[in-house]
Every structure is written in structure tokens, then in C-alpha cells.
């Protein structure tokens, strides 16, 4: 089984959309990450298995708890995580990647072109620099290690629409912190997974959890 086959198996198990074209795009994205990592230091020293197990699989797991119904905004996306994997799974959804660093956005432009993701939009700036036309409101706001969970809930609340959700990718033990932040923003905890291995993710040295906050 190849690394991407492991990702495909999780999609199949949870009935996430997966086609031959999806598989090709994930393989290409993995190749791009590995190829440009040396020159751009995108993700640190990782081999193909680590990239899939620690980055790509983690990026698609939120869709199991909260499938996107509309547009997605990924703040502080870095090398496109988790936004690009979600765009690969849902290529007809509008996905906005927010990233201020020049090297990262250069890579994201290459990836968008090579992966032929027509609904992928890049914004080279910090989230607080987005104007009203750029921000919009989205079905899902997501970020990987951009801020602490409570800070992220407060940052993301203006970015979601009336039925939208904020995805917190964090470590176990953060439930109370997320619930307190949600309550302070007039939101509620709508879903959670305290250990993503329960969803089929490979175990990692640092356990991971997902919390879904919504109106």
C-alpha cells in the first residue's frame, strides 16, 4: 500500500468523495511538497510516509465531522494545509488560502496550477489585513496551528456565515477552552473528536483532536 493509498482508504471508510482524479491530485501534491521542501523549507524534514500520515490525512479528517456545504477559508495555510487537501476532495467548493509569506505563496501558485484547482483563491496577507471584499463569509473557517484554540475561535467568528462552522485542529484536553471561547463568541461546540486515531488516522507522537464550533 502506497502512502496515498492509506489516505484513500480513510476516505473510502468514511464515504468522503474520492475519484481517480482525486488520487492523481494527491499524488502530485505529495510530489510537489517533497520536491520544493528542500529549497523552500515548507514542512521541515519529512519523508513521503510522514507527509501523508502527519499532514495530508490530518487535513481531510475535519470533513468527516463537518463536510463543507459551501466555501472554505484556511488562515495561515503555509504550504496549503489543510486547504489544498480539502480543495482536492471538494474541487467545486471555493477555497481561500490566506498566507503572508512570499515563498509559501510562490509554492501555492505552483501547486494551484499543477493541480488545476480552479476554485482555489490565494490571498498573500495576514488575516487582519483582509478587507471586506476579500474576507467574505464562509461555510467553514479552518487553520492548522495558526493560533491557540480560543484565539482562533475569536479570530474566525467574523469569517463564517449564519450556518458556518469553525474547525479547531489542536491537541486533546482543549474541550473546555474551546467551549468557553465559543460561548464568549455566541457560538456552540457542534462536534468533536478527542483523538483522531478513532477516525483511522495513524498514531503520532503528539495526539491530535478536532473541535467543530458553530452558530
Instruction: Quote the percentage of the chain above a pLDDT of 90.
Output: 88
Domain count, the chain: 1
Q: Which CATH number belongs to the domain containing residue 74 in this structure?
A: 3.40.50.150
Residues 214, 167: Cα–Cα separation, whole Å: 9
Which tens digit of pLDDT belongs to each residue from 126-140? 888 877 665 678 999
Mean pLDDT for 199-215 is 93
pLDDT for the residue numbered 131: 73
pLDDT for res 168: 96
- Torsional sign, CA 17, 66, 215, 165: negative
Entry pTM: 0.95
| Domain range for 14 | 3-214
Q: pLDDT at position 135, please?
A: 65
Q: What is the pLDDT of residue 145?
A: 75
Residues in contact with 181: Cβ distance below 8 Å, sequence separation at least 6, in sequence order: 149, 150, 151, 153, 154, 213
Residue whose cell numbers read 483532536: 209
Give, to the nearest 10 degrees, the angle between helix 20-40 and helix 3-13.
130
Chain-wide mean pLDDT for the chain? 94
pLDDT tens per residue, range 59-105: 999 999 999 999 999 999 999 999 999 999 999 999 999 999 999 99
181 by Cβ neighbours in 10 Å (0-12 / 13-18 / 19+) ranks as buried
Amino acid at each position: 500500500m502506497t502512502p496515498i493509498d492509506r489516505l484513500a482508504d480513510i476516505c473510502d471508510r468514511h464515504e468522503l468523495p474520492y475519484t481517480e482524479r482525486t488520487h492523481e491530485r494527491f499524488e502530485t501534491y505529495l510530489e510537489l511538497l517533497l520536491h520544493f521542501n528542500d529549497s523552500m523549507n515548507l514542512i521541515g524534514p519529512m519523508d513521503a510516509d510522514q507527509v501523508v500520515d502527519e499532514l495530508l490525512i490530518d487535513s481531510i479528517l475535519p470533513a468527516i465531522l463537518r463536510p463543507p456545504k459551501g466555501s472554505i477559508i484556511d488562515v495561515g495555510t503555509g504550504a496549503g494545509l489543510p486547504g489544498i487537501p480539502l480543495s482536492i476532495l471538494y474541487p467545486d467548493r471555493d477555497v481561500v488560502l490566506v498566507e503572508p509569506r512570499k515563498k509559501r505563496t510562490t509554492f501555492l501558485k505552483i501547486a494551484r496550477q499543477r493541480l488545476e484547482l480552479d476554485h482555489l483563491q490565494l490571498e498573500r496577507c495576514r488575516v487582519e489585513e483582509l478587507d471586506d471584499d476579500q474576507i467574505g463569509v464562509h461555510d467553514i473557517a479552518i487553520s492548522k496551528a495558526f493560533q491557540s484554540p480560543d484565539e482562533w475561535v475569536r479570530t474566525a467568528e467574523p469569517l463564517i456565515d449564519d450556518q458556518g462552522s469553525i474547525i479547531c485542529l489542536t491537541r486533546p484536553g482543549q474541550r473546555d477552552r474551546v467551549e468557553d471561547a465559543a460561548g464568549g463568541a455566541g457560538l456552540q461546540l457542534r462536534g468533536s473528536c478527542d483523538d483522531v486515531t478513532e477516525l483511522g488516522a495513524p498514531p503520532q507522537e503528539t495526539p491530535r483532536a478536532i473541535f467543530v464550533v458553530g452558530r
